[in-house]
Every structure is written in structure tokens, then in C-alpha cells.
Structure 1
Amino acid sequence: MSPNLRSLLSMRLLMRRFILRSLRPVLPILFLLAFALPLLLHIFIPEADHGSVAIAQSPPSQQEIRGVWMTSNDLDILRDRTKMQGAINQLKQLNFNTIYPVVWNAGYALYPSTVTQQSGIQPFVYKGYEGQDMLADLITQAHAQGLLVIPWFEFGFMAPPSSELATQRAAWLTQRRDGSQTSISDAGEVVWLNPFRPEVQKFITDLVLEIVTQYDVDGIQFDDHTSLPNDFGYDPYTIALYTRETKKAPPPNPLDQAWMRWRANKITAFMVQLNQAVKAKKPKAIFSLSPNYYDFAYKMHLQDWLGWLRKNIVDELVVQVYRPNLESFQEQIVRPEIQEAQQKIPTGIGILTGLRNKPVSMSLIQAQTQAARDRGLGVAFFYYESLWDTSPESAPERQAGFQALFVNPAVRSAI
């Protein structure tokens, strides 16, 4: 090795030793920065989207539900054109936007129904005092004021045992394991149409399509009675159907999970078909549902409405939360299934404004309504007459109370 080259190498070695001695005090800091820098970059610089990162979605923009049910207790208003016009005007002034008029109650259609007349189960026709079609009159007046009209199939598969529907179509009824056919509901003693029979499904479908096609409605609503009490389904037809499909007899315990699921799934399948039939006739019709809270609906009445929601057959949900105080009301409106519904469709809470023998104070109505609205939920009140005609406060006081709740209009339109 030449002297010059040896001298050059020695100089480089000396320089390297000098650099290492100089850096030795700060080496721990450099190592720390080496580990911390990637973490800091991850925190402060957004990661590029390569299709594998889940991003939370905000709820869709929804129109607030401000509705009221018109029940059979409101027939005097429905049948009197002048009273009807006054009711519509009042609801418009108080910034309501939706009316749910009853059209199926106690085994009878509350409109001139060709379906029920041809079936021979309705010997009379509900008409207004001037002979008018009550439903057509309501729709005309409500639409003129910009309110939606979504007729309500209140009784679903339920009927009084004395109705022509029950007496003339006895084969359509289902029963318990002991052979009994009636149960006690809010409407009194009732029987239940068998939701698994094709004849029953066709009858309900024909009624619904009659409404959708013959009237300028904005949708159709079903409630907690589009269901079946969990101890029903032991009629010969259903037993044979279950045995054929599962190769075993229905269990004696009506709460058997597989037996409950089979019956609930059958009701779900019918509702899917009903939704398809409605949409085929009127694609923009709102397919509305007003059930009880989910645990009760499924366990007690085989109504798997959360499954219906996930199958995308529900366009609007109004969960009935009729509670006597604010605390129990608030417990119900925070349930996860309600939050899930809010992410997809207009969602509201049904609030009791009073019964003829059980008035509800305006202060409680306001507190429950505000609690629902604070969570981004709409509201619907049960029922029209109890808004201010049968109440502990005067009608002007009640109307002022609703005006304070809905200061500004909330316009709704069909989907």
C-alpha cells in the first residue's frame, strides 16, 4: 500500500471516530425520533383510502314526521265535511304535516270497499253525512293544505269474534294449542286471522291495493296488529304446514325459539310480498310501520319488524311509546333498533295525547315530544280527538302548547 493511500485511510478513520464521539450524547434522542416519527405522521396526516378503511356515514337527510292518527273515535269529524275542514285547517296552522286516518277497523273497511262487499263480509258502507266518500274528502282537503295522508290498517289480522269476517270466514281463523280462538287486546276480545293462509294474505293484499290504486294516498301504514300473539298458530292448517316443512310437529311450548322463528319468518315473507305488490302499483307510496318496541313486538307478537327494516321494505317507522311519565319514555326512545332505523328512514315516536277515560297533561306531552325531537326523532300523536277536545286543559291552551312545540313548518313529500 502506498504511503499516500495509507495516510488517506488513517485520516478517514480519525474523522469517523470524531463523529461518533460527537453524536454519542444525542443518540438516544435520534433513536426515539426514529420510532416516533411514523406514529406522528399517522396521527396528523390522513391515510389514503384504498377501499379497506371503514368510514362512518352520517344519517341521511330526513323529513321530520309531525303526525296524528284519526281513529274510529274521530268518525264524527271524518263524516262531517265542515268539521273535517276545520280540523285540517287547525293542523296546518299548528305545523303538522301527516295524517294517519283509520281505514280498517273491527273487521270492516271504513271506506266504500268493493273487496269487502264482494266478499260478503260487509253489508253496509261507511259514508259521510252528505253521502260522500270520507277518505276521498280527507285526502282532497289535506292535500290542499300540503299535508300527507297515509291510511292506517289499524286492526291488521285482528277482528272482533262477532264480526261478519269472523263468523263467515271461520276457517280463516287460527287458535291456541287448547283450541281457544280469542285473546284480549286494547280493542277488547278479538280473534286472529291466520297470516299463514293464502286466502287471508290475498284478502289483506286486495284491501291494501284497493286503497293504493283507488285513492290519491301518499302511502299505507300497518301497526302492531299486523302480527300474531305468540301462543297462536296451533290450527290444523298451520300444524300441517309446519310439519310438512320441518318434518316434525309444532312443539307444545309456544315460546320454543325455532317455532317462534318459523312463524315470524312467515309473517315477514308475507310483508315482503305485500311491499312488492304496493310498490308495483305505486312505486312512491310510503310503506309505513307503527309497531311496539322491538323486544315486545317479536317475543309477544312474532313481529320481526327489525328484520323488515333490514330487508328495506319499511319507508317510515313510528314506534309506539305510550308511557305515563318522561323517565320510562326516555328509556324506550334510546333503544339501538331505533337508532339503526334513524340511519336509514324517517323515524318517529308515537306519543299518547290521551284517551276518553284517561287524559294526558299538556306538560307531559310537551316533555315527551321535546325529548324525542332532541334525539332527531319525529312524532305522531294518538289520537286526534284527544289533542284538545278531551283534555285536562282548555282547547286554546292545548293548541297554544302544540304551537309552541312546532314553531316553524316542516314540509313533507312522498318518497
Structure 2
Amino acid sequence: MRATLFLLALLGFNLSQGADVGCNLSYDLNGWGTCTQNGCCEFTAQNTDPSLCDGSGETCCYSTDLCPPYGPDFCFRTYGTWVSRYNFHASESEVHSGFQALKDKGITRVYFNIWADGSIYANSATAINNGASFIRDSLQWAVSSARTLGLEIYAWFEYGTQAHYGTSPDNSFSAELVIKDWLLYNLVDGQKVYTTPDGGNYVWTDPTNPAVQQFFADMTADIVRNYDLDGIQYDDHMAMPNGFDTVDNIGQSTRFTIMEEFMLKIRDAVYSAAPGTKISYSPSPISFSETHHNVRWENYLLDGIVDEVAPQYYRTTAGDYLNTLNQDLPYVQGHQTAMLGGIRLSGSGGATPSGEVDRMIEISYEKKLKGVSFWFADDIILGTYVPPTFVYC
């Protein structure tokens, strides 16, 4: 791996850097921006329109999270990973030992699963009062360990708009949602059928229902209000699957708008409950996300709705990873500095060879992504894969 990959930028930081003392506000982000070197705006609250700044290669950044100038070199800012609810999750000691192993191997951020199959692993009155099963407060253990070890901690809502794994609403949460009429379904011979091939073997909540959107906004706000978090994350299961009459009877551009406004409602609820909490989204690649999930996530970046995206570029070869990344980058218009490359270590099928993973990290650096995140943490905790040494800005 090239030595420059993990070069630590040692240059000083000056808020007044750039040709202008401020730049025009292009969307509602509550203030003037600062002209700074392109690539040095930590999050997506930026506009790369060159007319806003005088200096060549500058961007208008509305975020307070400006990074130090890189000079000729670029460096990552995040080494993340996802912790599932299956392992290193069930007890305080188990969580802490897992986090310690991640820290020892250079991980800087953990996306910790708290929402799956109608169950909540954190304290949310909204979730519990609407039928979700409270399993245990694993998130409190995760936050405590993260703060002790100096890791960033994001609450990960894995299931998103999925209510239940299975073909019928037979857990307490989805059964409650039948009564509320919050689920997607088709009428077949007078009977409600809750799954379609496009939706997979899942029961889904209805994103077109304002009450459903409010439920997720309120549940997310509960979590950021109740815990000392750096951020929250939804992923590709925050979706509107095709194959249901409610979905198929509206145009695709309207579906995109519904999902974008849905995420905006979640963002605003989070910002109101805990200002400064970051919003992350981990989608599928753009083409799949648009055609299967009715999500146009590049707009989430361009419109400042999320602070970062961590697309799941889960491929087993570096060549396929590069090809997939190259297909998406033209759509984000220079905002790749707010992207983490989602890299697959293992999953269905064989593990990704470590040499291919190392090359994927290099590619992510070469494309000037913010960093990478690994699916999933077990491989790193158990030593199946050991990431290269990481130094960040």
C-alpha cells in the first residue's frame, strides 16, 4: 500500500483561509459559508459552484467541521465498521471487549445496530409505545465503551422501514401496525398480502403515510435525546419497495420526493432533539437504489439532508469495487469527501481476500473519499482481517 495513503497532515489551520471571508448561502443552512480548499469541508453542507469563491479549487463550506488544509496530499478521516445485533452485543462485557479489539486495530467509528425485526435495543418510548419489543439497552453499553476508548459511536437503525422478517405480520410490532394501517399490502381475492418479490421476505411500513414518517422521526429523536451519540445511521432498508399498489400507482419521481422528504423529517427531528448530531445514510449503489428502493440518495448529499453517505460497495474484487464506485461518483459532483466506501469483508459466500480489501482501501483514498467502513466488525474483532495502520487528519 502506498505510504502516502496514511500520511498525517501537519499543516496548521486557519478559519480565514481562502480568498473570501464568506460566501453566499445557497440553501437554508443558517449562515454564511467559508471559502476553503476543495476537499476540506468535513461534511456535505457545501456548494462547489466556483462562482461562490474567488480562489481556484475552492468550495463554499457551510459546515463548522472544516478540516486542516491537506497541501498536496489527502488523508482519510474515518475508519468505520458495523456491529450487528448477533455478536458483541448481548452484554456489557461483550460489547466492551469487542470495542476494545476494534480500537486496538485502528477503527475510529462504530455503527451499532439498535433497530431490527420490530425490536429495539435502546430506550425509545416511541418505539415501545407502538408495539416494538424492547430487548435490552445495548446502546448504553456501546456509548459507555466508545467514550472510554475514544471511538465515535453512531446508532444504526438496520431495518429502516422494514417492520418484520417474514411473510405475514406476526410479531408484536407488525401486528400493532396492522391495526394502525401502517403497512404496505396488496389486496388479493379480498385478502391483504404483505409481501412482494420486490420487497423480499419482509413486511414493510408504508413510507407514504405521514404517521409512519412521524413514528420514525420521533423514534430517532428519542435515541439522540437519550444517548451521547456522535450520529445516527439508516441504510438501504430505509426504502419504498416496488410491487405494492400504493407505491406502483405513483410516479417514480414522486417516490423519490417522498423518500427525500421522509429523510428530511428525520434529519430535522434529530437536529431539534440534539443539535450537532450527524446524519449518516448507507445505501446501495445509485442504480440499484433508484430502481429497487426508490431512493435517489445523491440528492441527500447535494441538498444537505445527510452529513455523509456510506454506500455499500460490497464486492469481492477490487476491480468490481472500482467499477461500481466510478459509476456513482459523477452523480455526487465533488461531494465524495463526504462519502465512506462500504467494503465487504464477509457475508453470503466466501470472505473477500485481504489483498483485495487492501486495494479497495487504496482506491477509496485515490478517489478522495472521507474514509471507509467495513462490513462487518466480527472479522476485525476476531482477527480474520486486520486493517492497515490508519492515521487520520
Q: Shared topology, TM-score over 0.5?
A: yes
How many residues align? The count is 322
Whether the 8 Å contact between 1:183 and 1:191 is mirrored in structure 2 is: no
Does residue 69 (structure 1) correspond to residue 82 (structure 2)? The answer is yes
1:223 counterpart (235, 238, 245) = 235
What is the CA-CA distance between 1:408 and the residue it aligns to?
Answer: 3.9
What is the CA-CA distance between 1:307 and the residue it aligns to?
Answer: 1.8
Q: What amino acid is aligned across from residue 384 of structure 1 in structure 2?
A: A
Q: For 1:325 and 1:296, locate their aligned partners in 2 and report how far apart those are by CA, in whole Å.
A: 19
Equivalent residue for 1:182?
195
Q: For 2:374 and 2:122, locate their aligned partners in 1 and report how far apart those are by CA, in whole Å.
A: 23
Equivalent residue for 1:398?
385
Computing the radius of gyration over CA atoms, which structure comes out larger, 1 or 2? 1
Equivalent residue for 2:163?
159
Name stretches of at least 5 consecutive residues in structure 2 with no aligned partner: 1-49, 68-75
Q: Quickly say closer, same or farther: Cα 1:264–1:180, change in 2 above 3 A.
A: farther
Whether the 8 Å contact between 2:90 and 2:138 is mirrored in structure 1 is: yes
Q: Which residues in structure 2 correspond to 1:194-209 (within 5 Å)?
A: 194-209=206-221
Equivalent residue for 1:92?
103
Q: For 1:381 and 1:345, locate their aligned partners in 2 and report how far apart those are by CA, in whole Å.
A: 18
Equivalent residue for 1:365?
357
**Structure number having the greater helix percentage:** 1
Does residue 330 (structure 1) correspond to residue 329 (structure 2)? The answer is no
Whether the 8 Å contact between 2:255 and 2:294 is mirrored in structure 1 is: yes
2:310 counterpart (284, 305, 318) = 318
Q: For 1:50 and 1:116, locate their aligned partners in 2 and report how far apart those are by CA, in whole Å.
A: 46
Which range moved further: 198-207 or 335-344?
Answer: 335-344
Which range moved further: 103-112 or 149-158?
Answer: 103-112
Which range moved further: 195-204 or 333-342?
Answer: 333-342
Q: Which residues in structure 2 correspond to 1:110-129 (within 5 Å)?
A: 110-122=121-133, 125-127=134-136
What is the CA-CA distance between 1:342 and the residue it aligns to?
Answer: 5.0
Equivalent residue for 2:286?
294
Q: Quickly say closer, same or farther: Cα 1:410–1:145, change in 2 above 3 A.
A: farther
Q: Secondary structure at the match of 1:199?
A: helix
Whether the 8 Å contact between 2:161 and 2:238 is mirrored in structure 1 is: yes
Q: Which residues in structure 2 correspond to 1:25-40 (within 5 Å)?
A: none
Equivalent residue for 1:376?
368
Q: Secondary structure at the match of 1:386?
A: helix
Q: Which residues in structure 2 correspond to 1:129-278 (within 5 Å)?
A: 133-160=137-164, 161-170=169-178, 171-176=181-186, 180-183=193-196, 189-232=201-244, 234-235=245-246, 254=248, 259-278=251-270
What is the CA-CA distance between 1:64 and the residue it aligns to?
Answer: 1.7
Which range moved further: 327-336 or 57-66?
Answer: 57-66
Q: For 2:107 and 2:324, locate their aligned partners in 1 and report how far apart those are by CA, in whole Å.
A: 24
What is the CA-CA distance between 1:388 and the residue it aligns to?
Answer: 5.4
Q: Secondary structure at the match of 2:362?
A: helix
Whether the 8 Å contact between 1:319 and 1:348 is mirrored in structure 2 is: yes
| Structure 2 length-normalised TM | 0.74
Q: Name the Cα RMSD after superposition.
A: 2.9
Q: Quickly say closer, same or farther: Cα 1:52–1:358, change in 2 above 3 A.
A: closer
Does residue 348 (structure 1) correspond to residue 340 (structure 2)? The answer is yes
What is the CA-CA distance between 1:95 and the residue it aligns to?
Answer: 1.7
